[in-house]
Amino acid sequence: MQLKHLSIINFKNIRSLDFEPAAKLTCLVGSNGEGKTNLLDALHLLSLCRSSVGLTDRQCICHGEDYFLVKGTYEARENEEVIACGCTQQEGKVFKRNGKTYERLADHVGLLPVVMVSPADINLISDSGDERRRYLNAAIAQHDKPYLDAITRYNAVLQQRNKLLKNPSPDCDVLEALDMQLNENAIPVFEKRTAFLEDLMPIFQAYYEKISGAKERVELRYKSDLQKGCFNALLKEHFLRDKTLQFTTVGVHRDELDMRLDGYPIRKLGSQGQQKTTLLALKLAQAELLQRRIGVAPMLLLDDIFDKLDLQRVKNLISVVSHGTFGQIFLTDSNKVRLDTLLHEVEWEYKVFEVKGGEFEENKELTAGNSLADSSLVGKS
Verify that 333 and 200 share a domain, yes or no: no
Verify that 139 and 212 share a domain, yes or no: yes
Verify that 251 and 155 share a domain, yes or no: yes
254 near 240, Cβ under 8 Å? Answer: no
Residue 120 within a domain:
no
Among 260, 284, 308, which residue terminates a domain? 284
Helices assigned H by DSSP within the chain? 36-48, 123-126, 129-141, 145-165, 172-212, 231-237, 239-245, 266-269, 272-294, 311-322, 336-343, 364-367
- pTM of model > 0.85: yes
Neighbouring residues of 190: CB distance < 8 A, sequence distance ≥ 6: 224, 226, 252, 255
Verify that 42 and 186 share a domain, yes or no: no
Candidates 160, 140, 161, 162; CA nearest to 151 is 140
For residue 207, the domain's CATH number is 1.20.1050.90
Q: What angle do CA 185, 186, 192 make, to 5 degrees?
A: 100
**Cα–Cα distance for residue pair 311/114, rounded to 1 Å:** 27
Q: What are the beta bridge partners of residue 68?
A: 87
For residue 24, the domain's CATH number is 3.40.50.300
**Cα–Cα distance for residue pair 1/114, rounded to 1 Å:** 10
**Cα–Cα distance for residue pair 210/214, rounded to 1 Å:** 6
Residue 303 within a domain:
yes
Residue 121 within a domain:
no
Largest CA distance in the chain: 74
Residue 337 within a domain:
yes
Q: Which domain holds residue 153?
A: 126-284
Verify that 246 and 321 share a domain, yes or no: no
* pLDDT in single tens digits along all 381 residues of the chain: 899 999 999 999 999 999 999 999 999 999 999 999 999 999 999 999 999 998 999 999 999 999 999 999 999 777 899 999 999 999 999 999 999 999 999 999 999 999 999 999 999 999 899 999 999 999 999 999 999 999 999 999 999 999 999 998 989 999 999 999 999 999 999 999 999 999 999 999 999 999 999 878 999 999 999 999 999 999 999 999 999 999 999 999 999 999 999 999 999 989 999 999 999 999 999 999 999 999 999 999 999 998 888 888 888 898 888 777 788 999 999 988 888 888 887 777 899 999 999 999 998 877 765 443 333 333 333
Query: Quick count: other Cβ atoms within 10 Å of Cβ 337?
Result: 17
Q: Tell me how far CA of residue 15 lies from CA of 61, 93, 142, 205, 334, in angstroms.
A: 10, 18, 30, 42, 21
129 near 257, Cβ under 8 Å? Answer: yes
